[in-house]
Amino acid sequence: MEPVVDLRGAVALVGRFPALAGADLEVGPGEVVLLQGPNGAGKTTLLRCCAGLVPVVDGVARVLGCDLRADRRQVRRRVGLLAHATGLYDELTVEANVAFWGRAGGCRPEDVEAALARMGLDGRLRSVDVGRLSAGQRRRTSLAVLLARRPELWLLDEPHAGLDQAGRDLVDGLIGDASAAGVTVLLSSHELDRAAAVAHRQVEVVGGHVRPVPSADEPPAAPAEVDVEPGGPDVA
Ligand SMILES: Nc1ncnc2c1ncn2[C@@H]1O[C@H](COP(=O)(O)OP(=O)(O)OP(=O)(O)O)[C@@H](O)[C@H]1O
């Protein structure tokens, strides 16, 4: 089966800066993969790259079977990106935003209703303009948009940020349900304990490269073999 995300030596530019500098990552259907790594490492760029928003100039970059180097626009309808910038319209209500962005992604009216209910936005908040929402309520609205669009690949940039305890638990539940339904999830987070609990595996992004992170129950790597000259190693 073809991987959902298939990056091999992918180089992606942000402006003229190669924020992905030869990234390798393969993710299969239904997998939940956590991207960890320091500030500026390239996590957001990797997620945006998979959403078809960043030009890939070298290597292999295929997402959901689409060749991002040939045409990165075709993948956009099939993925859901939860980003720092919400893209929501301040002057529209929560419900109107979810309906607008949901329809742009081809969703049905019942998907909008189900998404609002799942995110706890089906009461008073549905009629409130997004410009009047708190940061956490906006985050919930963005998540409702993502749910309504029912994407095949979820790309979540710091999905727990700005949410209260109930909201964080809700996000974890959404990720678990999505994965159980065969949806693939890539998420970045600095809240490693919480995010690791919902992920099947973790990778580390450093300097625009991706490295595996061994799982806690994997045996530690064998020590590297060292060639020792007869007479023993030099001691400084
Ligand atoms: N608009 C831009 N122009 C130039 N360089 C940029 C731009 N946006 C990001 N970069 C650079 O690309 C690199 C990767 O940034 P990215 O936002 O992907 O990192 P990150 O791992 O998501 O960081 P954080 O944990 O702080 O969110 C950084 O070195 C950053 O300075």
Please check whether residue 207 lies inside any domain of the structure: yes
Please check whether residue 22 lies inside any domain of the structure: yes
82 near 142, Cβ under 8 Å?
yes
Number of separate domains in the chain: 1
Single-letter code of the amino acid located at 55: P
Please check whether residue 171 lies inside any domain of the structure: yes
Nearest CA owner, ligand 1 atom 10: 14
| pTM: predicted TM-score of the whole model, two decimal places | 0.88
Q: How far apart are the first and last CA of the chain?
A: 53
User: For ligand 1, is residue 41 a contact (CB within 6 Å)?
Assistant: yes
User: For ligand 1, is residue 123 a contact (CB within 6 Å)?
Assistant: no
164 pLDDT more than 80: yes
Please check whether residue 108 lies inside any domain of the structure: no
The C-alpha atoms of residue 189 and residue 155 are separated, in whole angstroms, by 11
User: For ligand 1, is residue 15 a contact (CB within 6 Å)?
Assistant: yes
Taking residues 139-159, what's their average pLDDT? 95
* 230, two tokens: 């007869």
Whose CA is closest to 147, among 125, 117, 168, 123?
117
Q: Which residue has the higher pLDDT, 232 or 211?
A: 211
Q: Which residue has the higher pLDDT, 234 or 178?
A: 178
Please check whether residue 101 lies inside any domain of the structure: no
60 near 7, Cβ under 8 Å?
yes
Please check whether residue 164 lies inside any domain of the structure: yes
Please check whether residue 181 lies inside any domain of the structure: yes
187 pLDDT more than 80: yes
**Ligand 1 pocket mutation pick from 11, 13, 16, 17 by most atoms within 8 angstroms of CB:** 17
| CATH number of 71's domain | 3.40.50.300
69 near 10, Cβ under 8 Å?
no
ipTM of the complex: 0.92
Nearest CA owner, ligand 1 atom 8: 14
User: For ligand 1, is residue 20 a contact (CB within 6 Å)?
Assistant: no
pLDDT over 70 for what percent of the chain? 91
Please check whether residue 226 lies inside any domain of the structure: no
Name the pairing type of β-strands 56-63 and 201-206.
unpaired
Q: Which helix (H) or strand (E) holds 210?
A: strand 209-213
Of 77-86, 131-140, 157-166, 226-235, minimum mean pLDDT range: 226-235
**Domain hosting residue 170, numbered range:** 5-86+151-213
